Structure 1
C-alpha cells in the first residue's frame, strides 16, 4: 500500500467548475432583474438568494442546509456572481417571503428568455415540434406539508403538472398541485400560459400530446379554439389526446364490434385488430358545437402469444382525439413517443433531488418547482450543447443526455482557481477534454448574440 499523506495549502480549489457555465446562464436568463421588484432586505440582495438556491439545484441539491457548505466557498460565490451567500435560515425565510409575494409569476419568463437568446436547438418529430403536457406524482409520505394528500398512485404527496417542448424536452411549465387535485382542474389555464411560450420559441407546427386524464369536452373545445387562433396568425397547432372510455368499452361492446366488423386485420394467430377514424360532436360550456375526429383501435385476442387458447375472447378498446389528418397507424405511433416525457419527470425528482420538497408551505414549494424549471433547462442546455456530437466526452452516442450525466461529466469537475489581472482562471490540469467542453460552452453562450457577457 502506498504511503499516503494529507496536507492543506493556500491554493483555492473547486469541485464544481461547471458553475462557471451555470452562472452565465442565470445571468442571460435575467434573474438579476428581480432586485428592482424585490429590494434588498437585511443587506442580502434578492437575486443572491435566488441564484444561491438555483446553484444548489444545479448541483443536484434541494435541502436548505446544503447551502451551509458553500458559505465560505469563494468559487461558489464568484462563479455565480454573488455579493453574499445566505445562511440556511435566511434562505428558507427569504424564499417563503418571495413565495408570498408571488415571485412565481416572474420566473416563467426566465427559461424562455434563456432558450430564445441562446437559440437552443428544438428538434421536431417529423412534421411537428411536440409539446407534451402531463402530471406526475411526488411521494411525500409521512409528512405534514401543506397540500400533501392522496394521489392517483395511492401514495401521499403532490401531483405537479409539467410541459416539455421538442425532442430535447425543454421545460416550459412546472407548477405544483395538491396530491388529490384532478388532472383537469386548472389544466386549461395552464395550457393557455404555456402555448404562447412554445409559440415564441419555434416557428414549426406544434403538436400537443396529452394522456387520457385530459379527456374532457371543455378541454377539447379549448384546443379547437386555440387551433383557430393559431390559424388566424398563419401558424399551425394540432393535438393528440388519449380517449378515456369511462366504462363504455365494456357496456357497448356489441356496438363497437359491429363498427369494427369491416376493419379487422389479423396480426398473428389468435390476435386481430381493427383501426378506423370516426367524427364526434362535442360541446363546450357555452353549448357551442365542435366536430372532432377520434382514431379507434379494437384488439381481439382468442389465444395468448404462446398459442394457449383463451376460454373467451379478450377485447381491448383504445381511442385518440386528434386533429391530425393522418392514417390511424401514424397517429398511434406519434402518441407512443409521448411516453418519453416520463424520463423528464424522473430527472426532476431524482437528479435535481426534488422528490421530497424541502418546505412545509405549499406556496414555497411551488416557487421551488418554478426555480427548478430554470435549473432543469440550464443543465439540459449544457448537455445538448456540450455533450452531443464530436464535442462530447467519451460516451455512447445519444441525442439527449440525462441531467445526472451532465452533473457527473461537466458540473462536478475539479479545478484550481487562479486570480490574475482581474480575471478568474480555472486550471483543469491534464483534464483537457472537460476543459475544452466548458471553454466551448462559455464561448457559445454569448449575450446578446456574439456580445460577451
Structure 2
C-alpha cells in the first residue's frame, strides 16, 4: 500500500548539530574552561583575544561531531552564533590556523587535566560504571588502529592492521563502555610498549570511578608477565588472551 508523503516548508532554522547544546551544558558545569584559560603558554600565539578555553570548547565540539580535522572548523562559519551559544564559547570560533597552532602549543600538557575532568564529568552527572553479574566492574583495554592513509600527520606510520595511521590505546569501564583512559600512539608502536605505565594509570582512574572490584580484559598483545604482576599487586582480577607466539614448543 502506497503512503502519501507530506512535505512541509518552514522558515525555522534546522540545525543538525543541536546535540552540542548538551555538550556545552555538561562542560559548563565544571571549572575546566577556567583552568584552560589560566594556562601559561607562548604569548606570541595568534589571535590572543581567543582564550584557551574557547579553543578547547571548539575542538571538543568538533570531536563530538566526528570531525577531528582542523579544517572542519570552517563548517561552523555557516552559523557561528549557534555554535558559540551551544558550546559556551566566549569570544569567537577560532580559525583552522589558530586552532592548529594553539593546540600545537598546548601539546600534551593538558592530558592529566583532561583525565581528571573526565572523571569529574562522569561522577557529577551520576554515571556509575555498571558491574557484571559476578560483581566485578569490567575494564576493556586494547589498541585500536586508525586508518589515516594518504595523510602526512606526525606519528602516522604502518599499523599491524596493514594501514598507515595511529594506534591509540583505549580503556573502557563498565558494561556501558565509558571511556576511562586513552593514549595516542604512533602506528608502528607495538601494543605492549608503554602498556605497563598506561595500565597503572588506568587502574588509578578506575579506582576513582568505582569501589567495585576491577576485572581487566586484555588481548593477546598484552599477554605479559609485567602486566600480570601490576594487576596482581593492585588487587585486580584479569582475563588475558594467551599469546601462543611467545610460548616455546
Match of 1:220 in 2: 228
> Hey, what's the Cα distance between the residues in 2 that align with 1:146 and 1:50?
21
1:238, distance to aligned residue in structure 2 (A): 0.9
Q: 1:118 aligns with which of 111, 117, 125?
A: 125
Q: 2:161 aligns with which of 143, 148, 153?
A: 153
> Hey, what's the Cα distance between the residues in 2 that align with 1:247 and 1:118?
44
SS in structure 2 of the partner of residue 16 of structure 1: coil
Match of 1:131 in 2: 139
Larger Rg belongs to: 1
Structure 2-normalised TM-score?
A: 0.86
Contact 1:129 1:206 in 2 (8 A): yes
Q: 2:75 aligns with which of 69, 74, 78?
A: 69
Contact 2:215 2:238 in 1 (8 A): yes
Match of 2:39 in 1: 37
Matches within 5 A, 1:36-435: 36-38=38-40, 42-71=48-77, 72-83=79-90, 84-99=92-107, 102-126=109-133, 127-227=135-235, 237-246=236-245, 248=247, 251=249
Structure 1 unaligned residues grouped into runs of 5+: 228-236, 252-453
1:104, distance to aligned residue in structure 2 (A): 2.1
Cα 1:104–1:5 change in 2 (3 A) is same
SS in structure 1 of the partner of residue 171 of structure 2: strand
RMSD: 2.4
The answer to whether the aligner puts 1:26 opposite 2:27 as a matched pair is yes
1:17, distance to aligned residue in structure 2 (A): 2.3
> Hey, what's the Cα distance between the residues in 2 that align with 1:153 and 1:17?
36
Cα 1:65–1:6 change in 2 (3 A) is farther
1:57, distance to aligned residue in structure 2 (A): 1.5
Bigger share in strand: 1
Q: CA offsets per residue over residues 81-119 of structure 1, 9 Å max, x none? A: 1121111111111111111x6222321112111001112
> Hey, what's the Cα distance between the residues in 2 that align with 1:25 and 1:52?
14
Cα 1:70–1:214 change in 2 (3 A) is same
Q: CA offsets per residue over residues 252-283 of structure 1, 9 Å max, x none? A: xxxxxxxxxxxxxxxxxxxxxxxxxxxxxxxx
SS in structure 2 of the partner of residue 37 of structure 1: coil
Structure 1-normalised TM-score?
A: 0.49
> Hey, what's the Cα distance between the residues in 1 that align with 2:247 and 2:169?
28
Deviates more, 1:14-23 or 1:129-138: 14-23
| Matched residue count | 236
